[in-house]
Amino acid sequence: MVGPWEPESPIGQFLVSLLQSHPHLFLEAAEQHIQQLAADKNAAAEKSTNSSGSELVLYKRIAEVKEQERQKAVVEVIYSLVVQKFLDSRLALVPKIPSLPANQKVDTNWQSVQGDMESIHSAEVLEVVRDHLGMILGRPSPHYQEPYTLVQASKMKIGHLYAATVVFGYFLRRLDQRYQLDLSMKKALSSDKHEDEEQGKLAAEANAAVQAMQAAKSSTTRGGLGGSGVFPQLGWKPSKLKSYVMSLDPESLQRFATLRCKESLDVVERQTQALFGKPEAEIAPDGSVVLLAGDSFTISLSGLRRLVTEAVVFGSFLWDAEAHVDSHYNLVG
């Protein structure tokens, strides 16, 4: 296995097996399957408009089943593209969190990913990522201490943290691309004098936007970043990227911090459930459904840092994979 969850669709199973046996053929095969899925989707839409009467009722039932199968295949194509990016970057994904006695930590054999972050993110993005990790985990302890500093937590709680941090990585990749695009346009349209004026204006907007950022942190939507503490505290002396983030209004921040399509949300949910298991639930006396904390596990501080760091990378790769599939399949309406 190259990741914690096994695909269920024939296409997903084929692509993941190809990653292990013939990785040099993977991208071409993935491209062909994306195009075929897009053609099937278009053909189904055309047939629906040409059907009528009892034929239409029967066709709709068949089409619903095929759409579900196609949806699962698209999700697993996106996942396989994410896994391929991990393999190309020589990063190993964390395996499924096992159930172990409380005195045994789950991260004994995990590979480190910390040193490989610089090959994935720019220096300015790395600065924001480190702020994020520092806010969640605190500043790094001496290297020799972290493997022996143990933390006990529920799978549900750490699962929520992992999923939210995946979305943070997705948000950061999306925003950085927008920032680089805006920067390129400004350089193309402005003289050196105008660039200096824009930088001064941006710094002023950054200071004025702190209150707006605080407001944005308190709002949440499904798949978005909000008051859960996932968004990093940005300093008073921001880099250009941080300044750009703080210059955005709360509505724009929330839009950037929301997954653009259901397929990406499904990838995040399935990845999280594969790592930590499905959350258990029970019916409360008032009839509502209550999620239980579930099993707890022991993990070292370095292992927890490794897990959160992977989640940021996973989110970044998810944005890239989604954009690639969307160029053929039209995921984003």
Q: Is the pLDDT of residue 183 over 70?
A: yes
Mean pLDDT of 257-268: 92
Exposure string over 209-246, b if 16+ CB within 10 A, otherwise e? beebbeebbeeeeebbbbeeebbbebeeebeebbbbbb
Residue 195 pLDDT: 57
- 105-145 residue pLDDT tens: 888 878 766 556 667 877 888 888 888 888 887 766 666 57
**pLDDT mean over 146-169:** 87
Give the pLDDT of residue 57: 76
What burial class does residue 13 get, using C-beta atoms within 10 Å of its C-beta: 0-12 exposed, 13-18 middle, 19+ buried? Answer: middle
Residue ranges per structural domain of the chain: 10-88, 114-329
Mean pLDDT across the stretch 147-155?
83
Q: Using the 8-state DSSP alphabet, how is residue 217 labeled?
A: H
pLDDT of residue 251: 85
pLDDT at residue 117, rounded to an integer: 64
Is residue 218 pLDDT above 60, yes or no?
no
Q: Place 233 in a pLDDT band, splitting at 50, 70 and 90.
A: very low
Reported in sequence order, the residue ranges of 236-292 that DSSP labels E, i.e. its strands, are 281-283, 289-291
pLDDT of residue 312: 92
Could you tell me which residue, 169 or 61, shows the higher pLDDT?
A: 169
pLDDT of residue 229: 40
Position 51 scores a pLDDT of: 60
- Which positions ≥6 away from 188 have C-beta within 8 Å? none
Q: What is the pLDDT of residue 268?
A: 95
Q: What is the share, in percent, of the chain residues with pLDDT greater than 70?
A: 74
- On the question of pLDDT at 191 being above 60, the answer is no
Measured N-to-C along each axis, helices 301-329 and 53-88 cross at an angle, to the nearest 10 degrees, of 130
Provide the pLDDT for residue 55: 64
